[in-house]
Amino acid sequence: MRIQDISTFDQIAKALGISTGYLRRLLFEERDNFYTEIEIPKKNGDSRKIFVPSDELLQLQKKLNTILISSFNPSSRAFGFVQGRSTVQNASLHLKKKYILNIDLLDFFPSISSGRVRSMFINYFKLSSIVASTLTNLCCHPDGFLPQGAPTSPTISNILCKTLDKELINLARKLGKITYSRYADDITFSTNSTFSRKLVRRNNGEICLGNELIEIVEKNGFEINSSKTRLQNNNQHQEVTGIKVNRKLNIDRRFIRKIRAMLFSIESNLDDLSIPATKFAESDYKGDSIGRLMKVIKGMISYVGMVRGKNDALFIGLAKRFNKLLLVVDQFKDEKPIVIDSGLSQLPNLVCVVPQTNIQLWKKDNEMNIFSEIDYGQGTGFLIKGIGIVSNYHVFEFVIDSIKDGFLPRETEYFVNLRFGASQSKKISAKISFFSEELDLVILIPEDQIILNNGFERELREPEQNETITLLGYPDFSEGDQLKMERGDYLRTTFSKKVEMYEISPIIFAGNSGGPIINKSDKVIGIATEGRRIALNRAIPIKYVDEEKLTTLTYTLFKF
């Protein structure tokens, strides 16, 4: 059911699975008892007011929220309280940007009045006055505002912010190549150039926001919290929704230290678990019982895995410590362990096929639009965490040469199709961002940069002679082929045109070009490049995968 389908008081009751008498009693007799106000501390020492709905109201709000979610499409740049979206996805939009502007909306939920909520039901959903008033009374505090703590409040805020999001997206586009996103009351702009002074500027060290930005926010019923406005360049600590975004998505070290302190406290007091429970309850971790504390720790470790990736060594180490406690303490036996994927099962998600593909690139020649059909592939590529997807230059040679000659893609910059997964079912679109013909390297950036949370780590030390290594890839690829893993040895370091090369014993067949060579720790030591056609099987050392050693490939879309 959609909210638009409700036209009477009786239909509201039916949609919520209750009688009209029950609904009337709740609205007219219990309204003064709808909420219990509590305060929780903020990091800065202030407190945040939370309004906890009564049990009866909570159940109705949950049902109503389900209906509301199915009744509208949130903005593509709204990441808070939207199923399938997260702080990680929000932060990934602003990864490795030159400048980031963070803005906070003051008193986000309580600044939304019940009048605005009622107008939303009437104007946006086209509901009758009586239906709009009834739904407003179910969603809003009796004192006339949207309460933080009600399950309907986040969804309603996203509906009311659709116009705000649209206008700020348009402002970002108008003022240059600027990326915009919003997570609840946290608004972020980022760019790789310089922010227009019409958006933000510094005046004697003070951050001054542009008039049009301020007008859009205020016209939509909000106020900017100037004390939380931040303008950061890439030489400073850049953070978006609590996640560091300078070079890769990362978590504040203090958060990691807290997890380690919690685990250590429990590990050191297995004979008296009241000690860690009391210690962290006093530190506002809601660890009033050891069972509750373990759930808090589990959530924190899971968050590390979400941000840094499930194959991240730090996440795996913390998860193993947590899971070990579940085995040695009887009180924890009913708690489910944190799932840790084995390295072997993860490999197909980190290595991709570059299928042979034909594309059209366009350019103008004497006022005429001409196109060229060009092939790339077949080869192999792989993810390096926080950097991109790596492959060989010669896999994309004809495409890169054509772009350098002025040919451009027509529909999207992310025209390269890659396929990850055990059955190559996960399709990723990417663009070629860096290349070197001399090093036979390319780095591709995926359109959905959240996948860069996962990926191989690099082993920058030179391997020892006869060290065991594994070559991964998709040689002579056909549909349904499994990832090939061939064990062998690192043999020696050679030189080709003053470039170091690793000679390896596994044979590099056609289609394996661009595949990773990993050591026993599953870290990448090199990239397959030359195979049996020259009688030597050679790899490029992973140390050359560095944006500063490569050339940037810049291109835009072709315009007719």
Residues 257-296: tens digit of each pLDDT? 999 999 999 999 999 998 888 887 655 555 457 888 899 9
Cβ 504 vs Cβ 537: under 8 Å: yes
Q: What is the DSSP letter of 150?
A: B
State the CB neighbour count (10 A cutoff) for residue 46: 8
479: Cβ–Cβ under 8 A, 6 or more apart, which residues?
A: 424
Closest CA to 419 of 344, 345, 358, 474: 474
Closest CA to 319 of 250, 386, 235, 260: 260
Closest CA to 27 of 131, 156, 147: 131
State the CB neighbour count (10 A cutoff) for residue 203: 7
Closest CA to 527 of 542, 537, 512: 542
User: Which amino acid, 323?
Assistant: N
Measure Cα distances from 479 to 81, 113, 378, 423, 474 in Å: 39, 57, 12, 8, 10
Helices (H), 140-181: 152-160, 162-174
Ranges of residues in the chain whose predicted pLDDT is under 70: 42-45, 281-288, 341-345, 531-535
Determine the angle formed by the axes of helices 290-308 and 313-328, rounding to 10 degrees.
160
Up-side HSE of residue 132: CA atoms within 13 Å toward CB? Answer: 16
User: What's the rounded Cα separation, in Å, for the pair 391 and 524?
Assistant: 13
Q: Specify the CATH superfamily of domain 347-447.
A: Trypsin-like serine proteases (2.40.10.10)
Q: Dump pLDDT digits (tens) for 502-531.
A: 999 999 998 999 999 999 888 999 999 976
Cis peptide before 378 (omega within 30 of 0): yes
State the CB neighbour count (10 A cutoff) for residue 560: 6
User: Which amino acid, 109?
Assistant: F
User: What's the rounded Cα separation, in Å, for the pair 472 and 85?
Assistant: 32
Return the pLDDT at 451. 86
433: Cβ–Cβ under 8 A, 6 or more apart, which residues?
A: 388, 443, 444, 445, 552, 553
User: What's the rounded Cα separation, in Å, for the pair 411 and 396?
Assistant: 19
Return the pLDDT at 448. 86
Q: Is 556 exposed, middle or buried (0-12, 13-18, 19+ CB in 10 A)?
A: exposed
Q: Specify the CATH superfamily of domain 73-109+150-251.
A: Reverse transcriptase/Diguanylate cyclase domain (3.30.70.270)
User: What's the rounded Cα separation, in Å, for the pair 400 and 78?
Assistant: 35
Return the pLDDT at 309. 81
User: What's the rounded Cα separation, in Å, for the pair 499 and 140?
Assistant: 67
365: Cβ–Cβ under 8 A, 6 or more apart, which residues?
A: none
Q: Which two tokens stand for residue 98?
A: 């030159």
User: Which amino acid, 47?
Assistant: S
Q: Tell me the helices (H) and strands (E) count for the chain, helix number first.
A: 15, 26
Q: Dump pLDDT digits (tens) for 29-47.
A: 999 999 999 988 766 667 7
Cβ 396 vs Cβ 380: under 8 Å: no
Q: What is the DSSP letter of 421?
A: S
User: Which amino acid, 227?
Assistant: S
- CATH architecture of the domain 467-551 equals Beta Barrel (2.40)
Cβ 394 vs Cβ 513: under 8 Å: yes
- Cite the beta strand spans of 184-246 per DSSP E: 186-191, 200-203, 206-209, 230-233, 239-240, 243-244
Cα 437 → chain centroid: 32
Closest CA to 182 of 198, 199, 160: 160
Q: Which two tokens stand for residue 272?
A: 């008296």
Return the pLDDT at 58. 96
Return the pLDDT at 43. 63
193: Cβ–Cβ under 8 A, 6 or more apart, which residues?
A: 98, 176, 177
